[in-house]
Amino acid sequence: MKQKTILTLVGAVALATGVAIAWVVAKQAGSAEPQYFQYFPQPRKLADVELVDQTGQAVTNQDVFKDRWSLLFVGYTFCPDVCPTTMAALSKIYPDLKSISTNEPIQVVFISVDPNRDTPERLASYVEYFNSEFVALTGEHKQLFPLTRSLGLMYAIAESTDNPNYLVDHSASVVVIDPDGFAIGRFKPKFNPGEVAVSDSEQILTDMPDVIKNH
């Protein structure tokens, strides 16, 4: 009986190993691994929150991310450098992103973490300047904090909001949300001396086809 149990266990291990090897071979036989995109160790489930879009409509994660590929960026409209640079770069490559062969459309989502100043009306004007198809969202901090944490991002308002020109510290990565609504990884900013640290749009355009194919 003991020998039979050992043989059964050995067979199960061999089967599991064979399946793992077959999966690796199949993955390697498919599209190339992304060069710049950094996968999370495992897909991240987004915090279940309700935000407001640039039309003033209340939306959930399901409304925004389901059945779409999303390139998500966190910032604020009064940002002097990282945000406008990133948004302009994403706008430049957006037509090429939309031409990628995929069953689900690709969208760009901008989440403002400065709800004190970024009203839906201001967000609408902001994204319209870069691309009218971009989605803009915001909400109360009690919604924004858990959402950004679940995305592997951060933000902080380090000075008094009594100063009308206060700055907000925030992550500069572009996170990819899959059509099931999970954050699967990110494009991290490039740090070059004397330049604004932003995610490289050409790297995003290079890797997104493989990110989609490998999903």
Do 41 and 76 share a domain, yes or no?
Answer: yes
Question: What's the DSSP call for residue 103?
Answer: S
| φ/ψ (deg, to 5) at 142 | -65, -15
Residue 31 has pLDDT above 70, yes or no: no
Do 13 and 99 share a domain, yes or no?
Answer: no
Do 110 and 181 share a domain, yes or no?
Answer: yes
**Cα-to-chain-centroid distance, residue 158:** 24
Do 144 and 39 share a domain, yes or no?
Answer: yes
Q: Of 209, 213, 204, 205, which is closest to residue 38 (Cα–Cα)? A: 204
Helix (H) or strand (E) holding 169: strand 169-170
Look up the CATH number of the domain holding residue 206: 3.40.30.10
Do 179 and 94 share a domain, yes or no?
Answer: yes
Do 81 and 102 share a domain, yes or no?
Answer: yes
Write down the pLDDT at residue 27: 40
Residue 12 has pLDDT above 90, yes or no: no
Do 17 and 120 share a domain, yes or no?
Answer: no
Domain count, the chain: 2
Domain hosting residue 206, numbered range: 35-213
Residue 176 has pLDDT above 70, yes or no: yes
Q: Which residues pair with 175 in a beta bridge?
A: 72, 186
The per-residue pLDDT of the chain, averaged, comes to: 87
Q: What is the pLDDT of residues 134-143, one digit of tens each?
A: 999 999 999 9
Helix (H) or strand (E) holding 155: strand 155-156
DSSP string covering 36-92: S-EEEEEEEEPP--EEEETTS-EEEHHHHHTTSEEEEEEE-TT-SSHHHHHHHHHHH
Do 24 and 86 share a domain, yes or no?
Answer: no
Do 209 and 154 share a domain, yes or no?
Answer: yes
Do 5 and 95 share a domain, yes or no?
Answer: no
Neighbouring C-beta atoms of residue 3, cutoff 10 Å: 7
In the numeric block, which tokens belong to residue 41?
A: 């160790």
Q: What is the pLDDT of residues 89-108, one digit of tens each?
A: 999 999 999 999 999 999 99
Do 92 and 16 share a domain, yes or no?
Answer: no
Do 12 and 72 share a domain, yes or no?
Answer: no
Read off the pLDDT band of 25 (50, 70, 90). Answer: very low
* pTM > 0.85: no
